[in-house]
Amino acid sequence: MFSLDDTIAAISTPIGEGGIGIVRLTGPDAEAILKQVFSPAGGAPETNGFAPESHRFYYGQVVDRGSGTAIDEVLAVLMRAPRTYTRQDVAEVHCHGGIVPLRQTLKLVLRSGARLAEPGEFTLRAFLNGRIDLAQAEAVLDIVRAKTELSLRVAMRQLDGGISEQVRAIRQTLVEALAHVEASLDFPDEEIPTLDVAAVLQQSRQQTEALLAQADHGLVYREGVRTAIVGRPNVGKSSLLNALLRTSRAIVSPLPGTTRDTLEEILNLRGIPLCLIDTAGITDSTDLVEKLGIERSHQALQQADLVLLVLDGSEPLQPQDWQIAELVRNRTVIVVVNKSDLVQVADHQAVQPQSTHVVLSALTGEGLTELEDVIEATVFSGQVQASELPVISNPRHSEILHRALNQVIAAQHTILDHGTADLLAVDLTAAASALGEITGETVSEDVLEAIFSSFCVGK
């Protein structure tokens, strides 16, 4: 997977019908293979005298020279290194966006000397060739998977090197401190310039803690918040889902038990991706299908980050309301008292009194904005700062920063306990090495394979 000597190819656009589909190649034989499969308009298909200029599109056909059969009418472009995505020669064939022409073109490219790319191998080559670091490579996948405009902006900031610059600055400070400590060990009789290592460690600790302070917000923008809508049958869970989505997504009926399975939809709530899960009403049932739906509701509840507990404000509280409230007692809960357009008789304040209660009507939309305010404040623990985009949005980076912080704290304790210089060097080495895993300076091949295997083929 880490060889740079062969030429790889893949379909780089989603499979299916569309206006355009792209077959991409990169590697030392990209130009030669392009010349084999592409015939420019007006040129003789049996000749190979095509001499493309770099970064210029050419109109023509993909031709199987063995049979003389034209496969598709295309645009082709050759981009010569180093001004390419991978810093190797890159060729692209822009076909019509159908499954058959794309696959036929890819087969022809593979027969002409390329091999099928592994997942993420184009971006891996960009990393291995030094065009981007590992954090920027991971940002490429975050851009592809961005669910909201804010999550896209967070990923773009990482692609621009925002996180890398800060991590490198901390790491460089620790490396300089390590060099000072090792010099004092290697040359005990020499006069080594003084360095306040304790002050360096405190500065590094504060900078690392500042990055980690943003991590929770970053993870919210990157991964979203799984939000389960729960309650007994016919309290308006599906109506609430439709109201939040501003569309009729779930079937709504006055008959109880309409929802028999979980239904998931992504909601962009002021830049926060909410994965809303409409669950089957949790109740006792003898119906086999309904029982399966209720089991899935319990599973969704266990996996949820946030729970919207829906009550019917127009009816007295039922035993099932109390049972469900007990199920979510230790979760992050917002109590939604629905049907405010009807006469209110429920004593809802007695249910989950420690949680925020919002009275609304999913039918009329009254109170919906208040619920959105509460969700936003709850997600960020009351500290919503949408204008301050977080930097750390990757769980791998967060784990590494925690590890590096622990090593910095260990180094501080070594100094306070008057430990030896070689013990201090061990702590500093471990901290610097951990930070290097974010940018890729000290990362292992196993980690690289794990990261890039999550990419789609062709990216």
Domain with residue 171: its CATH number is: 1.20.120.430
Q: Say if residue 359 is in the same domain as residue 229.
A: yes
Q: What are phi and psi of 3, to 5 degrees?
A: -75, 140
Which of 131, 166, 199 lies at the terminal end of a domain, its last residue?
131
The token duo for 177 is 């401190």
| Residue 276's pLDDT band (cuts 50, 70, 90) | confident
Which of 379, 401, 425 lies at the terminal end of a domain, its last residue?
379
Task: Work out the angle at residue 451's Cα, subtended by the Cα atoms of residues 83 and 431, and round it to the nearest 5 degrees.
Answer: 100
The CATH number covering residue 278 comes to: 3.40.50.300
**What pLDDT does residue 45 have?**
47
| Residue 287's pLDDT band (cuts 50, 70, 90) | low
Q: Tell me the helix, strand and coil percentages in the chain, rounded to 5.
A: 45, 20, 35
Q: DSSP states of 283-330 as a string?
A: -----HHHHHHHHHHHHHHHH-SEEEEEEETTSPPPHHHHHHHHHTTT
Q: Say if residue 147 is in the same domain as residue 26.
A: no
Q: Which helix (H) or strand (E) holds 124?
A: helix 121-128
**What pLDDT does residue 292 have?**
60
Q: Say if residue 373 is in the same domain as residue 305.
A: yes
Residue 25 corresponds to which amino acid? L
213-217, 315-319, 344-348, 372-376: least confidently modelled range: 213-217
- 157-205 pLDDT, tens per residue? 899 988 999 999 999 999 999 999 998 887 776 666 778 899 999 999 9
Q: How far is CA 448 from CA 125, 288, 317, 429, 455, in A?
A: 11, 46, 54, 21, 11
| Number of domains the chain contains | 3
The CATH number covering residue 65 comes to: 3.30.1360.120
| Residue 387's pLDDT band (cuts 50, 70, 90) | very low
Residues 331, 239, 221, 457, Cα dihedral to 10°? 110
**What pLDDT does residue 42 have?**
75
45-59, 200-214, 417-431: least confidently modelled range: 45-59
Q: Is residue 46 part of a domain?
A: yes
- Burial letters 288-322, b for 16+ CB under 10 A, else e: eebeebbebbeebbeebbbbbbbbbbbbebeebbe
Q: Say if residue 368 is in the same domain as residue 428.
A: no
- 15-41 pLDDT, tens per residue? 888 899 999 999 999 999 999 999 998
Average of per-residue pLDDT across 365-393: 76
| Of 251, 182, 220, the residue nearest 384 (C-alpha) | 220
Question: Is the pLDDT confidence value at 384 over 80?
Answer: no
Q: Is residue 457 part of a domain?
A: no
In Å, the largest CA–CA distance within the chain is 88
Q: Is residue 450 part of a domain?
A: no
- 100-136 pLDDT, tens per residue? 999 999 999 999 999 999 999 999 999 999 999 999 9
C-alpha to C-alpha distance for 355 and 382, rounded to whole angstroms:
13
Q: Say if residue 265 is in the same domain as residue 370.
A: yes
Q: DSSP states of 30-78 as a string?
A: HHHHHHHHEEETTS-TT-----PPBTEEEEEEEEETTTTEEEEEEEEEE
pLDDT, the chain, mean: 86
Q: Say if residue 291 is in the same domain as residue 256.
A: yes
| Of 285, 242, 281, the residue nearest 262 (C-alpha) | 281
The token duo for 184 is 């004092």
Strand partners, 230: 309
Q: Is residue 116 part of a domain?
A: yes
Q: Is residue 239 part of a domain?
A: yes
Q: How are strands ordered across the β-sheet holding 18-26?
A: 38-40, 56-64, 69-79, 90-97, 18-26, 8-11, 115-116
C-alpha to C-alpha distance for 213 and 280, rounded to whole angstroms:
37
Q: Is residue 343 part of a domain?
A: yes
- Burial letters 140-162, b for 16+ CB under 10 A, else e: bbbeeebbbebbbebbebbbebb
**What pLDDT does residue 6 have?**
95
Domain that holds residue 375: 224-379
Q: Say if residue 409 is in the same domain as residue 322.
A: no
Does the N-terminal peptide bond of residue 82 adopt cis geometry, omega within 30 degrees of 0?
Answer: yes
